[in-house]
Chain A
Amino acid sequence: MIFKGKVWKFGDNVDTDAIIPARYLTTSDSRELAAHCMEDADPNFVVRMKPGDIILGGENFGCGSSREHAPIAIKAAGIACVVAKSFARIFYRNAFNMGLPIFESRELGDAIREGEKITVDSAKGTITVTKENKTFMINPIPPFMEKLIADGGLMKHISRK
């Protein structure tokens, strides 16, 4: 898979309360959740972002609650993928289980500014910064997780077995 998009940069420890505040968890409707995506980290995010854009996080992205509403909100808002230095473990599971592409890169975050365009090539395992033509490696995805993605998420994976 290849994702080309503009980067929205966030800091370390972006928690699931910032991604989708609990006050909106009285629904699991993906469009309603998408309308409040990243609201407590950046209230204008959903207004300014465009489908196909990419979220760039720091360490421990998605920490806190297990709410799957967080990756659902990000995906439904039209974000192509999330790149971070590291992911909190439940968010990591949820993203693979429900089909939000996520990638770990330790170097990318410090090397680029918000608004720059990048190309993520999951097959090659690279991220290229369009303007400077600099390339960074993505941490390899474990084969099992690749299988999950190829099958279209956890439920399709287990139905296939």
Chain B
Amino acid sequence: MGNTITEKILMAHTALKKISAGQLINARVDIALGNDVTAPIAINEFQKAGGKKVFDKNKVALVLDHFTPNKDINSAQQCKAVREFALKQKVTHFYEGGQVGIEHALLPEQGIVLPGDLVIGADSHTCTYGALGAFATGVGSTDLAAVMLTGELWFKVPQSIKFVVYGKLQKWVSGKDLILHIIGRIGVDGALYKAMEFTGETIGKLPMADRLSMANMAIEAGAKNGIFAPDAITREYVKKRAKRDYKFYTSDADAVYSDIIEINAGDIEPQVAFPHLPSNVKPISKAGKVKIDQSLIGSCTNGRIEDLRIAAQILKKRKAASHVRLIVVPATPAIYKQALKEGLIEIFMNADAIISPPSCGACLGGHMGILAEGERAVSTTNRNFVGRMGHPKSEVYLASPAVAAASAVLGRIASPLEL
């Protein structure tokens, strides 16, 4: 019996010769990530356990991206604590200030996470790196502390669900729409404790930015990880970024899956997840007239240059409706610079958009774009739980950058085809 890509990567990080779903293992970690919200607890646990030195300063990444630029005194204190630790430990991948980007856009972009890696992050959207053919999963702060101390962590080898996606994507339909559709189909616990393996002809042609958006939201279906078999598109993405060796793994033809789900992508319209669950998905044609107060284009799901290009294509020579606050968040400094170079930032500013520095703030209701009572936002982010972006009585509608841009212009949830 063969193994899935997830099983193979996990096994490669142990001394085991055989591995199967359900097994509890201790595995070596290649990269361990924390941010300004989760790292302070991890650092405290690390020190309480007598930790003096992190297991490998090149394998820890600390990214101050959540409440930065510092929102208030408390968040400044948290950042200070992480900074002091990072400098003392000489952590190689420490990002703050003008070098910081949203962690899950930054780490792949900088070649810090690579195919075949085992990555853990004290952030649930760590699953993003599965797009590169890595095993990547979100954990808590105590897990991060344990890895910083020992370089290892316990895992239960997950069963895998295989998604076979075929058919040609319609205009304005992206990886974001595919993953929203899938979550709508299987539910927010449809892949609980499992790996979501994305395969099929549509996936084979899907650009890396779309794969990253899809893997990013695997957690919204309860999954442990989302994963794509690395291919020529992966190679093209990583070859100019990697500063160390990496390895491509693929699933065996006789690998065992708990379920195989076929998706005809040709049938899928742009999707919108209504409040208050990412699974509450409707095709845009059935969204009805939903007036919005804010449109957010950015985040670890959709703040990449490709996303900004799509938004700019729609916003060019147009303006956000007068009652809509349009916020654009380039996810990393490199994306910001590229957007400037391509004239995208000017297009956004001419459309009356607010340009935010790279930050997770607005997505989690932290700062830089909070919603008031009764307000509605269309957002390219990944969660629309109660109070996610502000007041407990505000609403978040999740969609692609194309839909968020068109909605900003029309002042209601809208398809780009309506423009």
Tell me the A residues contacting B by CB distance below 8 Å. 13, 15, 17-18, 21-23, 25-28, 40-41, 43, 59-60, 63-69, 72, 86, 88-90, 93-94, 97-98, 142, 144, 153-156, 158-159
Q: Known interface pairs A66-B122, A158-B146. Does A60 touch B392 (Cβ–Cβ under 8 Å)? A: no
Collect the chain A residues with CB atoms within 8 Å of residue B150's CB. Answer: 158
- Which residues between 374 and 415 of chain B lie within 8 Å of chain A, taking CB atoms? 383, 385-388, 392
Q: Is there contact, CB below 8 Å, between A40 and B49?
A: no
Provide a sorted-by-A list of 20 A–B residue pairs whose CB atoms are within 8 angstroms: A13-B277, A15-B383, A17-B387, A17-B388, A25-B66, A25-B364, A25-B366, A26-B72, A26-B75, A27-B78, A28-B40, A40-B387, A60-B189, A64-B124, A68-B38, A68-B141, A93-B139, A93-B140, A154-B146, A159-B49
- Which residues between 126 and 141 of chain B lie within 8 Å of chain A, taking CB atoms? 126, 138-141
Tell me the B residues contacting A by CB distance below 8 Å. 24, 37-38, 40-41, 44-45, 48-50, 66-67, 71-72, 74-75, 78, 121-124, 126, 138-143, 145-146, 149-150, 154, 188-189, 192-193, 219, 222, 224, 277, 364-366, 383, 385-388, 392
Q: Is there contact, CB below 8 Å, between B189 and A142?
A: no
Q: Is there contact, CB below 8 Å, between B74 and A63?
A: no
Q: Is there contact, CB below 8 Å, between A21 and B146?
A: no
Q: Is there contact, CB below 8 Å, between B392 and A40?
A: yes
Distance between Cα atoms of A64 and B41 in the complex (Å): 18
With A22-B365, A94-B139 known, 5 other A-B pairs at CB within 8 A are A13-B189, A18-B387, A28-B40, A68-B141, A94-B143
Closest to A72 in B: B41
Q: Is there contact, CB below 8 Å, between B387 and A63?
A: no
Contact of B143 among A86, A97, A156 (CB under 8 A): A97
Nearest-Cβ distance from residue A49 to partner chain B, whole angstroms:
19
Nearest-Cβ distance from residue B135 to partner chain A, whole angstroms:
14
Q: Is there contact, CB below 8 Å, between B38 and A89?
A: no
Closest to B40 in A: A28
Collect the chain B residues with CB atoms within 8 Å of residue A89's CB. Answer: 192-193, 222, 224
Collect the chain A residues with CB atoms within 8 Å of residue B383's CB. Answer: 15, 17, 64-65
